[in-house]
């Protein structure tokens, strides 16, 4: 079976005692016997079944396999690569890593004593809830690797409406994953998982490349004149923003797609501005290269207003939590007005997210908000649906 999924017929060894470790496994179906041989006699240490983790100890401490594993029945397993486990370990506290290494050394010593006496290992106690959560996360992470390698990810684009031009002029690019077995997987689930590991880097690179390609094709198909102000934005993770010369890599993608400066924006969440020096440097380089910068989820993070004016952004995305409350809460409405006025005074534009009703759109227009995004404008759409969105009549409210 391709990718992270592997099948083993009954009687097949997954690994043997003394082998160098290269992966651990989550058992999806079937039963596995873990055993060792001492004095020419086979000693069964354990039987493992669906939901159990197999072979992780040798991967964690990078020692040869201390036992053999054989499929008792036909088995399906998810491979957990060594680099996945090692990356998680490197993210852990150094004291925790030291304690884990000490525990594994004691375990191996105990295993040798058990083997010498010829008695089976006791069943370990575990928290089934925590165990299941960790196993599910490992499975999904392995399957996300497969999705990246096998082009299972796709991009959709949510339109952004320009009130001054009375037309759609921008799109936010969003990554989607339609799993061949699980079906649609929420971005909140798989993007959060990717951000915990280096998987966010290939996911982010895919989003950059596909967004540039899609925007270039859309501009080429647009009626004369309408393509002049069209742009697209893509979200940036903390790991991406830490890549040296990240802005230059984005510019290379723009150049490959034939996009002119001003066509592309990076959406940086307000919380990332806590790393002020790094983000400030990234924004400044983006300005030099003609790459726009949008502060995303504005008003929900912890940015320092006293330093906000020094950041070189051209767009602020007003979080949808404000838009939902502004018509029912006068204090929220005043706060939204103040944000729009402040951002405008800084020479930037506001995109209001989560706009779902004509009344919300009318209020935002009345206070000088230029851009609207939300289901009133349009749901995220596939690339081949975008030309029809651009031909749709302007909003009336």
**Residue 176: pLDDT above 80?**
yes
What ranges do the domains of the chain cover?
5-127, 151-391
Q: Given pLDDT bands bounded at 50, 70 and 90, which one contains residue 134?
A: confident
pTM equals 0.77
Q: Report CA-CA distances (Å) from 208 to 73, 203, 227, 273.
A: 45, 9, 20, 21
Write the CB contacts of 182 (distance below 8 Å, at least 6 apart in sequence): 143
Quote the percentage of the chain above a pLDDT of 90. 55
Which pLDDT belongs to residue 186?
A: 87
CATH topology of domain 5-127: Jelly Rolls (2.60.120)
What fold characterizes domain 151-391?
A: TIM Barrel (3.20.20)
pLDDT at 1: 43
4's tokens: 């992270």
Mean pLDDT (the chain, rounded):
87
Q: Is the pLDDT of residue 225 over 70?
A: no
Instruction: Render 224-245 in DSSP notation, one character per residue.
Output: TTTTTT-EEEEEE-HHHHTSTT
pLDDT value at residue 228: 62
Mean pLDDT of 353-366: 96
Query: What's the confidence (pLDDT) of residue 135?
Result: 80
């Amino acid at each position: 079976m391709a990718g992270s999924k592997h099948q083993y017929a009954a009687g097949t060894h997954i690994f043997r005692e003394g082998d160098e470790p290269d992966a651990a496994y989550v058992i999806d179906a079937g039963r596995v016997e873990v055993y060792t041989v001492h004095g020419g006699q086979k000693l069964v240490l354990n039987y493992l079944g669906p939901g159990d983790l197999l072979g992780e100890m040798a991967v964690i401490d990078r020692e040869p396999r201390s036992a053999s594993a054989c499929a008792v029945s036909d088995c399906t397993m998810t491979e957990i690569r060594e680099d996945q486990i090692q990356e998680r370990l490197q993210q852990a506290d150094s004291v925790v890593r030291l304690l884990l290494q000490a525990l594994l050394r004691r375990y191996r010593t105990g295993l040798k004593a058990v083997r010498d006496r010829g008695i089976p290992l006791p069943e370990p106690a575990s928290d089934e809830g925590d165990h299941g959560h960790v196993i599910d996360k490992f499975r999904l992470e392995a399957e996300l690797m497969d999705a990246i390698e096998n082009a299972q990810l796709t991009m959709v684009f949510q339109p952004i409406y320009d009130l001054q031009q009375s037309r759609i002029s921008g799109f936010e690019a969003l990554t989607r994953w339609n799993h061949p077995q699980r079906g649609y997987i929420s971005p909140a689930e798989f993007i959060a998982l990717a951000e915990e590991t280096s998987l966010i880097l290939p996911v982010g690179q895919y989003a950059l490349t596909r967004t540039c390609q899609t925007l270039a094709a859309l501009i080429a198909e647009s009626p004369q004149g309408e393509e002049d102000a069209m742009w697209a934005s893509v979200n940036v993770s903390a790991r991406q923003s830490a890549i040296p010369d990240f802005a230059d890599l984005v510019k290379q993608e723009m150049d490959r797609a034939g996009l002119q400066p001003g066509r592309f924006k990076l959406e940086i969440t307000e919380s990332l501005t806590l790393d002020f020096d790094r983000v400030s440097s990234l924004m400044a380089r983006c300005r030099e290269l003609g790459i726009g910068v949008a502060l995303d989820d504005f008003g929900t993070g912890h940015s320092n207003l006293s330093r906000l004016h020094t950041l070189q952004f051209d767009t602020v995305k007003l979080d949808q939590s404000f838009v939902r409350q502004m018509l029912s809460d006068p204090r929220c409405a005043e706060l939204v007005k103040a944000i729009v006025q402040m951002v405008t005074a800084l020479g930037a534009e506001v995109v209001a997210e989560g706009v779902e009703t004509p009344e919300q759109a009318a209020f935002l227009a009345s206070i000088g908000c230029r851009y609207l995004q939300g289901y009133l404008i349009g749901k995220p759409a596939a690339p081949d649906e975008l030309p029809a969105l651009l031909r749709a009549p302007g909003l009336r409210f």
